[in-house]
Chain A
Amino acid sequence: MKKLWSVILLSLSLVSADLVKFAAPLTADTNTKIKAVFLYNFTKYVEWPQAYKSGNFVIGVVGDESFSKELDLFFNPKSIGSQRFEIKSFNRASDISPCHMIYVSPQFSGNLNDVLAKIKGKSTLVVTEKPGMARQGAAINFTVIENKQKFELNKANAEKYDLKVSSSLTNLAILVE
């Protein structure tokens, strides 16, 4: 028994640094997804006149091409009744063609009057996303309360375009006159 049998220290290796990984952020614009679901719901809880119940259901986006692309992904190939959704992107008020619903981006809100002038006489639901817009002509204005996406509703601004807002939507909205 001249020596100990191979008392050799093992190196501490299996639990190694390469097992430690940094988690990558999930790629998702959560806010866009939430707004898209809201917009989809608006199409269900608002009633358009009979004349608007054929052809594609057109959603216009003014001043935000990337949001328009996201909506395109979200709404394709959805439909409401027999109407397929169609997303149109506009960079100028003068370019706006007839829409069932139009989303005016915050950066384009300064031109809301131009948008309203363009849709005059048509049943278009105007959705904005800037404080005060529901008092300046928008029917629905996205707002944030306590870190959550909410919406204001100015029922009169919907009704003057011959749009009927359901009581369910009214009950959930922050009402603005």
Chain B
Amino acid sequence: MKRLLYIGLIWFLSPAFAWAQADSLNKAIDYYESRDLVKARSAIDAASKHPSTSNLPNTWYLRGFIYKEYFKHYEASNPKSPAREEAVAAFVKVGELDPGKSEFFDDNVRQSLKYLGSTYYNTSSDFFTADGYKTAIEFFEKYKKCYLLANPDFNWKPSHIEFYLSLGTGMENIYVTNRKVNLPYMEITAGMYKKVLEVDTNNITAYYNLCMLYYNHGVSIINDMSDETDILDIDKIQERALEFFKTALPYALKAYSLNPKRRETLVALSGIYFSMHEEEKSAIIQAEIKALDGK
């Protein structure tokens, strides 16, 4: 870490060193070099708070690396690692103290930010749970922030699409385990797929998944209807199911317009029309499926 050494030397020679009681920064460098990360952390904490060193970019530069290494060695299995947060915050501070991002905010910082960002991305799926999905989103945003800090031109859209499609699938898995109890997760799922469409208005997977989400919910309303349902209530149940079939239809039509030869979409569209008693339209789509299958 030539830069750290260089920074250290410059700082030792600077007038500030004469009056600063900033022994901690030197100790932090020594501990870091000798890989005593626990002591390096204590020393850099002290340096980060000391008035003579707290506004020096090199303090935060070193702090970022110490905490990054601390995270790797002691908290890598902790998805909510405080050390990782500290490392990112330190590198952010380096950027603030080096507005031109030319002297201190170097390739090592950029690479470290990408590394830390990747760990956020990769652990986000640990939170594809009923209680954790907001944390997953938070982690994705942290990943994006890290990468954008490292490279303002970073194209985050492909990972955004992949992340929200995956999270949507995760939330849908929760919802389908018990459609009644987990009903709120249906709209949460839809929200995830709609996030995909925010950046990719022609994402056929998102349209298809949205159509299936609503269509299947409508079907489940009918499926769950008791055989003993009184004739007075049949209409209300049909009304509820129809609402979801109608919601599903535009998504199916959009997916169809994007690829009229995609079998899954044709099956879904035919099913929606059939459930809406639009049997002629359903039959037309069925014919397209048969043509596709070469029958």
On A, residues with C-beta under 8 Å from B are 1-17, 19-26, 28, 30-31, 33-34, 36-38, 40-41, 45, 74, 78, 144, 147-150, 168-169, 172
| A16-B166, A148-B235 known; A10-B119 Cβ under 8 A | yes
Could you list 10 examples of A-B contacts with CB < 8 Å? Answer: A4-B1, A10-B122, A14-B121, A15-B162, A19-B165, A19-B170, A23-B216, A25-B267, A25-B271, A31-B274
| A7-B108, A25-B215 known; A31-B125 Cβ under 8 A | no
Contact: A20 with B162, CB < 8 Å? Answer: yes
Contact: B276 with A28, CB < 8 Å? Answer: no
Whether a CB of chain A sits under 8 angstroms from the CB of B138 is no
Interface centre among A3, A25, A30 (most CB of B within 10 A): A30
User: Given the complex, which residues of B lie within 8 Å of A12, measured CB to CB?
Assistant: 118, 121-122, 159
On B, residues with C-beta under 8 Å from A are 1-2, 4-5, 29, 32-33, 35, 65, 69, 72, 108, 111-112, 114-115, 118-119, 121-126, 128, 159, 162-163, 165-167, 169-170, 172, 205, 208-209, 212-213, 215-216, 218-220, 222-223, 225, 227-232, 234-235, 238-239, 241-242, 245-246, 264, 267-268, 271, 274-278
Contact: A15 with B166, CB < 8 Å? Answer: yes
Give Cα A148 to B35, complex, Å: 72
| A14-B124, A20-B165, A41-B234 known; A5-B69 Cβ under 8 A | yes
* The residue from A25, A148, A172 contacting B242, defined by CB atoms under 8 A apart: A148
Nearest to A23 among chain B residues (CB) is B212
* The residue from A41, A148, A172 contacting B238, defined by CB atoms under 8 A apart: A148
